[in-house]
Amino acid sequence: MPRNDYFLSGHGACPGCGVAIAVKNIMRVLGSETTVYVPASCLIVFSALYPTSAFKVPFFFTAFENTGAVITGIKAAHRRRGVQGNVVGFAGDGGTFDIGLQALSGAADRGEDVLYVCVDNEAYMNTGIQRSGATPFGAWTTTSPIGKRIQGNRRMKKDIMDVVIAHNPSYAATLSIAHFNDFIKKVDKAKKKKGFRFLHVLTPCVPGWKIESSRTVEIARLAVETGMWTLYEYEDGEARSTYRPQEMRPVTEYLQLQGRFRHMNNEDLNNLQRYLCNKWYYHYGHDIEQPVCRIYKGEKELHFDGDPLHGV
Amino acid sequence: MVMKVLSADHAVAWAVRRAKAEVIPAFPITPQTLIMELLAEFIADGEMDADLITAESEHSVMSIAVGASAGGVRTFTATASQGLALMHEMLYAAPQNRLPVVMVNVNRSLGAAAGIWVEHNDSMPERESGWLQVYVEDGQEALDMVLQAYRIAEDERVLLPIMVCLDGFILSHTVERVEVPEQEDVDAFLPRFKPAFALDPEDPSTINAIVPPEYAMEMRYQLDRTVERSKMVIKEVDEEFKERFGRGHGGLIDTYKMDDADHALICLGTATSTARAIVDELRSQGRKAGLIKLRFMRPFPHEELREVCSGLRAVGVFDRSIGFNRYGPVFTEVSSSLSGQGLKVTDHIGGLGGRDITLRDMRDIYAIIGSDAEGKEVKRVNWHGLRGVQT
Ligand SMILES: Cc1ncc(C[n+]2csc(CCOP(=O)(O)OP(=O)(O)O)c2C)c(N)n1
Ligand code: SF4
């Protein structure tokens, strides 16, 4: 792992921010010959507040929904001027799944030689935790509140990787900040390839997920162990899982550490678990012995575990 | 020098080719499409070395243009109407980041009462975006202004984007004799783009951080002063262009028979040609009519306008756009510019949604301004060419 930092400490992210951890480490692998674009998101606010900047490489920002397009423009200029290195965009899930989807699709469709990184904290965090297309089923956000009639987000998380893969990119991969060797290998691959490359990183968010700041990495690991997050890559027209947990852990192990799921009832938990079982077969179906999935019927609901951060 | 028979859209494409723009993001919209189609042909035939990037929307077009310009290359794009409106958010990125993008907007009506025909209600709302804005009258001026636009935009005293506005269909699709200058003459006038700054790992810099209130206002002030300063550069560039190519366009404003005029009309774009015919007619009748062609809406030529209007007894403003329940935007600007002069100003609205501006309309306009000059009672705001009765 290269030790040089191009995303410097002293930025203004919340302690334990998954986005900061992801970006710092991706930048270590990408190195100095990298030009960075960041759209409106937590990252722009905590990394580039005039007169300071946390990026030690050329850095640009303009708007929210245009990451795929701006990096296209920068890359075109660099190609014409013979400037070396990668042009990378770090967009949030809102800036990728929702408002930025069109520009993402445009760039992927044209096969632009750029690296698009989605740092996915599963909601619009910079504007104060609103639901996005990446918000998982059941999760509380300020626009999917816990009401008397409706509790939390009612849609399953959009599968953005499938959407990107449908464009036949030169490389696409999911990353976890808790699976570090896998993380580095994938960033390194993405760095070296040509054409459109997409990295999707799950980046836990302390206030948005209502978690303890020391548990970011642990929660990222549990996401993989429970099937909430799957590690795989798409290359040469084929998808391949890069890490498979020994066994499928019940999703409640992941959910109970996060205040945003505290209210979930049995029916919702079972729905989510059932969905995850299908997803598990979808991703690992080629090499699993049945059965790996257990649906928890009638067991205890998620309860407040006494941690003051959970559910405040 | 080569004479060609070209539409203004194709004249623009020739100018872009001669200017050697390197990155050209494109998205189709009538009546702009002819520009990008011809540029695509130039590139496909190997006659021009540039990247034409077919984007998925105008928002992305302007995002690509801004990215490419920040990356340090000469950038061109074109749009119209709904496309310009979709770019609105991204327009602001270019001036505030001092990126000299050149864009042609082929004026076309916007929104309901939908249509593809000329109107200035698409570009007028963008005059507060920080872009410089010039309106042209014919194909030759369109070609020349694209060349001049790069010189103005890329001047280190300016470094601002420019929107060259041309009237849809009346110019975009009408062919005329246009002189296409030789490549070496254009190269001498417009050397290769040397960016003042660029995104480059060899010399890293942060462009466009979030700016807190302690600093943001100073940035706005600098931009305001720069738009003002561009006036000087616009004049210089037009003079140099005239020396090299034998024709100038007047810089900020151009005048016709203003030396001894006692009343005049202020006009933009192609309506100017119609007005010129009426001025000739009135002059043959011994009337002292004049014409002021307002070329730039930004920077707005306040002093120049006050100077040419001094001594007039009445002036009219022609607006091919309307601020609803108010005046046309050109009238608003001119009135604020001329306030305190004691000059009578009337607003004349016409040509909306592509309605023809006829010689008769123009005659009516001059008749009202003439009456105003003679001290007769006239309406301040007049719509011309309306069917039915005006109340
Ligand atoms: C066109 C537009 N709409 C809305 C906003 C307001 N806005 C700024 S950041 C943001 C949320 C970003 O969410 P996401 O992309 O998920 O990134 P995060 O902050 O969660 O890292 C929003 C809605 C904006 N800047 N531009
Ligand atoms: S709100 Fe969340 S994503 Fe934003 S800085 Fe804090 S931890 Fe990071």
Which conformational region is residue A31 in: left (phi greater than 0), alpha (psi within -120 to 50 degrees), or beta?
left
Nearest in space to B354 (alpha carbons), one of B114, B184, B193, B142:
B114
CA of residue B154 relative to chain centroid, distance: 17
pLDDT tier for residue B254 given thresholds of 50, 70 and 90? very high
Q: What is the mean pLDDT of residues A18-40?
A: 98
Q: What is the mean pLDDT of residues B246-274?
A: 98
Question: Is residue B4's pLDDT more than 50?
Answer: yes
Q: Which residues, other chains included, contact B104 with Cβ-Cβ below 8 Å and sequence gap of 6+? A: B12, B32, B35, B77, B78, B79, B142, B146, B163, B164, B165, B166
Q: Taking all residues of chain A, what is their mean pLDDT, rounded to a whole number?
A: 94
CA of residue A222 relative to chain centroid, distance: 14
List of chain B residues whose C-beta atoms are within 8 Å of the C-beta of residue A83 = 71, 200-202
List of chain A residues whose C-beta atoms are within 8 Å of the C-beta of residue B75 = 73
Residues in chain A: 312
Question: Is residue B65's pLDDT more than 60?
Answer: yes
pLDDT tier for residue A198 given thresholds of 50, 70 and 90? very high
Is A19 close to ligand 2, i.e. is its CB under 6 Å away? Answer: yes
Please answer yes or no on whether A69 and B212 come within 8 Å at the CB atom. no
Share of chain B above pLDDT 70, in %: 100
- The reported pLDDT for the residue numbered A312 is 36
Is A144 close to ligand 1, i.e. is its CB under 6 Å away? Answer: no
pLDDT tier for residue A310 given thresholds of 50, 70 and 90? low
- Nearest residue of B to residue A112 by CA position? B53
pLDDT in tens, B198-207: 999 999 999 9
3-state secondary structure of A18: helix
Instruction: Report yes or no: B166 and B136 within 8 Å, Cβ to Cβ.
Output: yes
Which residue has its alpha carbon closest to ligand 2 atom 3?
A205
Question: Is residue A303's pLDDT more than 70?
Answer: no
Question: Cα torsion at B22, B28, B32, B38 (round to 10°)?
Answer: 50
> Nearest C-alpha of chain B: how many angstroms from A46?
9
Task: Classify burial at B213, counting beta carbons within 10 Å of its beta carbon; exposed 0-12, middle 13-18, buried 19 or more.
Answer: exposed
pLDDT tier for residue A285 given thresholds of 50, 70 and 90? confident
Nearest in space to A284 (alpha carbons), one of A224, A236, A235, A237:
A224
3-state secondary structure of A214: helix
Which residue has its alpha carbon closest to ligand 1 atom 6?
A127
**Nearest CB to A34 within list B60, B201, B210:** B201
Please answer yes or no on whether B57 and A79 come within 8 Å at the CB atom. no
pLDDT in tens, A214-253: 999 999 999 999 999 999 999 999 999 999 998 899 999 9
- The reported pLDDT for the residue numbered A311 is 45
DSSP code of residue A301: P
As for the ipTM of the complex, it is: 0.95
